[in-house]
């Protein structure tokens, strides 16, 4: 399959009159799949009302079909077409954080989207992205778009068009290049069907922000389990993983270095994922920083780029520093733990 690529300059007055947007939107209306940037990561979009289009998303990614997809919309009017009820909690969160990196789980209208989108559940995950290219594309298509991350299933999510091209060229109809994404980790997913909202996936909107908006908030225990039917995208199967096995180290820099030294003495090629503050203190075959420990938003922004960077070095294993779970750190550790298959080494 030929994959078309369009470069779009993100100017303030970007509109649906942009010819690149028009061409990409036409492919989406024809039930083809097209990758596009959002403020979190690049998404792989397809007509959410078409099982044909949604099946193409799963096929391109190699993604298991029992994992639900997030539906992206351009305005709140579209939400009314997709759900039977917008709870008071949902309304508060929409007012504060839409458009933005927040996905809400709400009761789905029967037949509003393909059953392949909801994975047979009675709920649907919906968000309004905060990105001019994504919004222009959504408005031009006039469709709700199912859009998981635009990468091969299990690999680190794409934060640049280059990442998408490397994974999916020849597997999808098109790619809209809108530059590097901002947040760097996927949206927060909140189940608003319960009396107390439940965070199903930490992300760009922190738990602290949600608590401030609506009061009491729960965390789904399934975040630590991988054998249940997922209500949220990204909760099942290994995600975000580099080619080499990844281990998270909770301990001092000297402890982490000792682990590396043991492996290197055995002739193994070892990588270290660290921060700006510590990366130069280590000895390893490859050392990459994913941002500053004093500003974890930079770590979120650069995490997937760093994880992908290790794949070029043909390593035997990778050790990663760990992070605080306050604020955006919760999303960072969630993604790292998934990438590592929950392989964690703790200094005693």
Binding site, by residue number, is 40, 63, 67, 72, 123, 127, 147, 149, 157, 187, 201, 240
How many other β-carbons are positioned within 10 Å of the β-carbon of residue 29?
Answer: 15
How many other β-carbons are positioned within 10 Å of the β-carbon of residue 33?
Answer: 28
Q: What is the dihedral of CA 339, 242, 58, 56, to 10 degrees?
A: 150
**Tokens encoding 295:** 């500003």
Q: What is the CA radius of gyration of the chain?
A: 20
E-strand ranges in the chain read 4-7, 34-37, 42-47, 70-72, 102-107, 123-127, 145-146, 174-177, 188-191, 198-201, 218-219, 246-250, 270-274, 286-289, 317-321, 344-346
Binding-site residue ranges for ATP: 63, 67, 123, 149, 157, 201, 240
CA 12 to CA 329: how far, in whole Å? 31
Burial 43-72 (b: 16+ CB within 10 A, else e): bbbbbbbbbebbbbbbebbebeeebbbbbb
Residue count (the chain): 348
Binding-site residue ranges for L-threonine: 40, 72, 127, 147, 187
DSSP 148-189: -BSS-TTSPPPSSHHHHHHHHTTTSSEEEE----SS-SPPEE
Q: Is residue 132 within 8 Å of residue 10, measured between CB atoms?
A: yes
CA 37 to CA 171: how far, in whole Å? 17
């Amino acid at each position: 399959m030929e994959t078309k690529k369009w470069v779009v300059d993100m100017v303030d007055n970007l509109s649906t009159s942009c010819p690149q947007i028009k061409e990409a939107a036409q492919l989406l209306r024809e039930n083809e799949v097209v990758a596009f940037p959002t403020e979190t990561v690049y998404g792989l979009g397809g007509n959410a009302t078409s099982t044909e289009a949604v099946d193409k998303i799963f096929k391109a990614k190699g993604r298991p079909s029992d994992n639900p997809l997030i539906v992206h919309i351009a305005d709140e009017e579209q939400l009314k077409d997709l759900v039977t009820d917008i709870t008071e909690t949902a309304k508060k969160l929409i007012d504060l954080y839409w458009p933005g990196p927040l996905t809400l789980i709400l009761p789905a209208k029967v037949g509003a989207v393909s059953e392949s989108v909801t994975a047979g559940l009675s709920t649907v995950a919906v968000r309004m992205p905060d990105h001019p290219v994504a919004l222009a594309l959504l408005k031009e298509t006039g469709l709700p778009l199912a859009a998981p991350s635009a990468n091969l299933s299990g690999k680190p999510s794409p934060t640049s068009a280059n990442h998408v091209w490397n994974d999916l060229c020849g597997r999808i109809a098109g790619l809209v290049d809108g530059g590097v994404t901002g947040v760097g980790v996927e949206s927060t997913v909140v189940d608003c069907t319960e009396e107390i909202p439940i965070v199903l996936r930490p992300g760009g909107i922190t738990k602290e922000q949600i608590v401030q908006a609506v009061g009491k908030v729960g965390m789904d225990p399934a975040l630590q389990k991988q054998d249940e039917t997922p209500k949220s995208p990204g909760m099942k199967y290994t995600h975000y993983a580099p080619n080499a096995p990844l281990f998270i180290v909770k301990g001092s820099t000297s402890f982490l270095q000792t682990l590396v030294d043991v492996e290197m003495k055995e002739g193994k090629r070892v990588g270290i994922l660290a921060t700006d503050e510590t990366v130069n203190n280590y000895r390893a075959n490859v050392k990459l920083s994913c941002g500053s420990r004093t500003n974890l938003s930079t770590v979120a922004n650069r995490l997937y780029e760093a994880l992908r960077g290790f794949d070029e070095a043909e390593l035997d294993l990778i050790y990663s520093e760990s992070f605080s779970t306050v604020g955006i750190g919760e999303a960072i550790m969630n993604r790292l733990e998934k990438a590592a298959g929950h392989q964690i080494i703790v200094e005693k």
